């Protein structure tokens, strides 16, 4: 049977909402082989514990600029003298193999992706409240009051973008947020557009 195309999930939400935890717990609990991470490219140096090809593709500035010039990136941006970008080929290959792809990215990059791949499914993770998010950022204990204020302001700006997304997950209890994520992923697998070949098969048999 011919495989239907995979779905690209774009996953955003302010710093401190637990996006990484939701995905980590989901993969641990459900061992979903039909869903894979998109790995970004960056020019920044690897941190301790980070592996090339898993956390990021670590590339030189020259290599990154060559990737931009040859249109190998779906989107890219520059933060603090470092470049970050989303390689196109790996995503397109997985999707055409029927694999779903999850791409964690901030809202500006997310909108660039949506413009290029309109059928991408956009998921936004919300904290239960702004005050809860602020207390989560504070309890990390690693940031100054200034940094926390800056992050909270940034969170408000990001949350205002959430109306442009398809789905909202409120990360109040992590187990429920994982189930919500699973519901969204599985619902896409039931979409008629992702089952055109299945319908033909039913009619053939």
Angle at 177 between CA 176 and CA 179, to 5 degrees: 65
Q: Is 192 in the site for a copy of itself (CB under 8 A)?
A: yes
Using CB under 8 A, which residues numbered 98 to 157 contact a copy of itself?
Answer: 124, 126-132, 156
Q: Closer to a copy of itself at the Cβ: 90 or 161?
A: 161
Tell me how far, at minimum, the Cβ of 119 lies from a copy of itself, in Å: 14
d(CA 121, CA 185): 9
Q: Closer to a copy of itself at the Cβ: 84 or 167?
A: 167
d(CA 122, CA 119): 9
Of 108, 115, 147, 199, the one binding a copy of itself (CB under 8 A) is 199
Q: Closer to a copy of itself at the Cβ: 117 or 170?
A: 170
**Burial class, 98, CB count within 10 angstroms (exposed 0-12 / middle 13-18 / buried 19+):** middle
Tell me how far, at minimum, the Cβ of 159 lies from a copy of itself, in Å: 6
Q: Closer to a copy of itself at the Cβ: 88 or 182?
A: 182
Tokens of 1: 């049977």
Which one of the spans 45-53, 62-70, 135-143, 166-174 is the region binding a copy of itself (CB under 8 A)? 166-174
Q: Is 4 in the site for a copy of itself (CB under 8 A)?
A: no
For residue 132, what are the CA distances in angstroms to 139, 174, 178, 186? 10, 14, 19, 29
Q: Closer to a copy of itself at the Cβ: 103 or 184?
A: 184
Q: Is 191 in the site for a copy of itself (CB under 8 A)?
A: yes
Strand order in the sheet with 57-58: 57-58, 41-42, 82-87, 73-79
Q: Where are the alpha helices (DSSP H) in 55-139?
A: 61-69, 88-96, 107-116, 130-139
Residues forming the site for a copy of itself (CB under 8 A): 124, 126-132, 156, 159-160, 162-170, 180, 183-184, 186-187, 190-192, 195-196, 198-199, 201-203, 205
């Amino acid at each position: 049977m011919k495989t239907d195309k995979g779905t690209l999930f774009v996953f955003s939400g302010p710093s401190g909402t637990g996006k990484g935890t939701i995905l980590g717990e989901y993969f641990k609990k459900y061992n979903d082989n039909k869903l894979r991470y998109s790995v970004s490219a960056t020019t920044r140096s690897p941190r301790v514990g980070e592996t090339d090809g898993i956390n990021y593709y670590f590339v030189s500035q020259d290599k990154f600029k060559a990737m931009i010039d040859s249109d190998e990136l779906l989107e890219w941006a520059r933060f603090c003298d470092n470049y970050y970008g989303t390689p196109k080929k790996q995503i397109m290959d997985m999707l055409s193999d029927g694999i779903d792809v999850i791409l964690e990215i901030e809202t500006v990059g997310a909108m660039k992706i949506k413009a290029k791949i309109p059928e991408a499914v956009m998921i936004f993770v919300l904290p239960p409240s702004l005050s809860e998010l602020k207390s989560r950022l504070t309890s990390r204990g690693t940031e100054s009051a200034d940094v926390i204020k800056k992050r909270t302001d940034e969170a408000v700006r990001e949350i205002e973008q959430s109306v442009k997304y398809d789905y909202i997950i409120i990360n109040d209890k992590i187990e429920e947020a994982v189930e919500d994520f699973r519901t969204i992923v599985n619902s896409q697998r039931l979409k008629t557009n992702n089952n055109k070949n299945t319908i033909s098969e039913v009619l053939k048999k």
